[in-house]
Structure 1
Amino acid sequence: MSRPPTFVPPPCAVSRALSTSRGEFAVLDARPTARENRGTALLLPGYTGSKEDFIALLEPLAAAGYRVVAVDGRGQYETDGPADQAAYAQDGLAGDVLAQAAALGDGGPLHLVGHSLGGQIARAAVILDASPFATLTLMSSGPAEISPAQQQRVKLLSDALTVMSMEQVWQAILSFDAPEDAAGEATEGREDLRRRWLRHNPAQLLATGRQLTTEPDRVAELAAVRPLPKHVLSGERDDTWPVPLLDDMARRLDAHRTVVRGAEHSPNTDRPSETATALAGFWAQY
């Protein structure tokens, strides 16, 4: 589970609802603080995550001249979703992304970023229609299904969700936390994570968890989406998709490659300054 350093957005950002042709989505909307508006970025979070996972990126990216919109997808945290797992089919979630892009209007070049599960949804969106986007960044998001160890973790979570309440599952998650993680996490931060967890829709977690464990390799399809510039960004360690697998995916996509030193599966929270610099540097080329 991603652990953002805070759930409080910086002064440059507001929490609001983004109205689209496919419903309303909760977003954090950060406006450029630089004199020049260089474009807009749409950021999609990963499995069990939320828009708050990008909070530490908002200020440096706004200072670089970008409007940054981080979104809760359908059924994630502050965006409502139905109890029907069919509502979270990948093509439907990709359609949501295209609707969000349309709702953002003409704010200059639109850069799409997806973290982990969000990367696979972003990939599906641009395969459906790449025309709204100036670039695509896949952040710690691999070519196909997650690693066997992570598949087992998702299966355990999914099995628990079918027989336990969200509160009961949360307590089970806490019991599996490493002692050093539990000791280092402030009570306020733990309560933020609990509140977020309880507002996730279980149907969304079940459907997207299944996607992560069965996702086919769609790299060739994505590589054929041209002339869209692509960027593969990750930490230097990753237990969800091994880094050599991400290196190979970048080669297959002819993509720009960034490895953020000192980061693991969530460079957006592990090393936000370095991650923001890499994103802004890539976007500035387009």
Structure 2
Amino acid sequence: MSRPPTFTPPPCARARVLHTERGDFAVLDAAPPAGAHSTALLLPGYTGSKEDFIAMLGPLAAAGYRVVSVDGRGQYETEGTGRQESYAQGELARDVLAQAAALDGAGGPGGIHLLGHSLGGQIARAAMLTDAGPFRSLTLMSSGPAEITTDQQKKVQLLGDALSRWTMAEVWEAMRALDPPEDADTGGEELRRRWMLHDPAQLIATGAQLSAEPDRVAELAALPLPFHVMSGERDDVWPVPLLDDMARRLGARRTVIGGAEHSPNTARPLETAAALVAFWDSL
């Protein structure tokens, strides 16, 4: 589970609702005071939320970008449906396209820079393969070419089984009992509140997707867009050599954030933001 350093937005950002043709989405919307030259849309990972990018919003806005991080359908402060079929990957991809349409023209010409972390990367990929027109670039952060590792599949299956039988509160207490000692006091009530507001149907459906995702790198590579593959120097969800190979197959810019693992956005936000600015500015 990602652990944002805070749930309080920086002064440049405001929490608001993004209205789209597919419903309302809770977002953090950050912009430079002098106006943005481009817009970036950031999608969080499995069990995550828009707050996973909170420490990056200030640096990205300072570089001239309007940055919108979003809670996907059924994540944290965006309302869910309680129905697993609502979270089919194609449905979530169409949500992203609706979000992009709602932001179109608000942050400068040239399309939206799309970034997805972990599960968010696979949803972002599906959105691009549905319609790449709204986008200027795609960054896949700690998000691999196909299914997650066997060990992670077992964990996701255990979580899905628990969510099918227990309440969200009961699952939370069970997960916290398994936390390593160094994480025992991290996040506290804000993390619990985020967990309790997730739709369990979303977690079950997207967990199954992570365990069965096909390799669609060749389809993505056929799109005439610039790609960026980012990760920490270690990753137990998709091994780093697998991400290296995916970057090669995409002809993508490759960034490895030292001192980070699966969530460089929370572990090393300043370095991660600087790498994103370097990529986006190069375009």
Q: Which residue of 2 aligns with 1:69?
A: 68
Q: Does 1:137 align with 2:139?
A: yes
Deviation at 1:285, TM superposition (A): 1.7
1:17-67: CA deviation from partner (whole Å, max 9, x where unpaired) = 00000000000000124x462200000000000000000000000000000
Q: Which residue of 2 aligns with 1:98?
A: 97
Q: Which residue of 2 aligns with 1:2?
A: 2
Q: Which residue of 2 aligns with 1:89?
A: 88
- Alpha-carbon separation, structure 2, partners of 1:49 and 1:180: 20
Q: Does 1:272 align with 2:269?
A: yes
Provide the alpha-carbon RMSD of the alignment.
Answer: 0.8
- Alpha-carbon separation, structure 1, partners of 2:267 and 2:129: 30
Q: Does 1:113 align with 2:112?
A: no
Deviation at 1:279, TM superposition (A): 0.3
Q: Which residue of 2 aligns with 1:281?
A: 278
- Alpha-carbon separation, structure 2, partners of 1:191 and 1:21: 33
- Alpha-carbon separation, structure 2, partners of 1:180 and 1:9: 25
1:73-105: CA deviation from partner (whole Å, max 9, x where unpaired) = 000000001111000000110000000000002
- Alpha-carbon separation, structure 1, partners of 2:36 and 2:177: 46
Q: Does 1:242 align with 2:239?
A: yes
Q: Which residue of 2 aligns with 1:258?
A: 255
For 1:167, the aligned partner's letter is: A
- Alpha-carbon separation, structure 1, partners of 2:183 and 2:197: 23
Q: Does 1:220 align with 2:251?
A: no
1:143-202: CA deviation from partner (whole Å, max 9, x where unpaired) = 00001111111011001001000000000000110012215x2xxx21000000000000
TM-score, with structure 1 as normaliser: 0.97
TM-score, with structure 2 as normaliser: 0.98
Q: Secondary structure at the match of 1:134?
A: strand
Q: Secondary structure at the match of 1:284?
A: helix
- Alpha-carbon separation, structure 2, partners of 1:130 and 1:190: 39
- Alpha-carbon separation, structure 2, partners of 1:178 and 1:44: 27
> Which residues in structure 2 correspond to 1:8-23 (within 5 Å)?
8-23=8-23
- Alpha-carbon separation, structure 2, partners of 1:36 and 1:139: 26
- Alpha-carbon separation, structure 1, partners of 2:36 and 2:189: 36
Question: Percent same amino acid among aligned pairs?
Answer: 70
- Alpha-carbon separation, structure 1, partners of 2:216 and 2:18: 29
Q: Which residue of 2 aligns with 1:46?
A: 45
Number of corresponding residues: 280
- Alpha-carbon separation, structure 2, partners of 1:65 and 1:180: 37
For 2:61, the aligned partner's letter is: A
Q: Which residue of 1 aligns with 2:124?
A: 122
Q: Secondary structure at the match of 1:269?
A: helix
Where does the alignment leave 5 or more consecutive residues of structure 1 unmatched? none
- Alpha-carbon separation, structure 2, partners of 1:190 and 1:224: 44
Q: Secondary structure at the match of 1:162?
A: helix
Q: Which residue of 2 aligns with 1:170?
A: 172
- Alpha-carbon separation, structure 1, partners of 2:277 and 2:99: 21
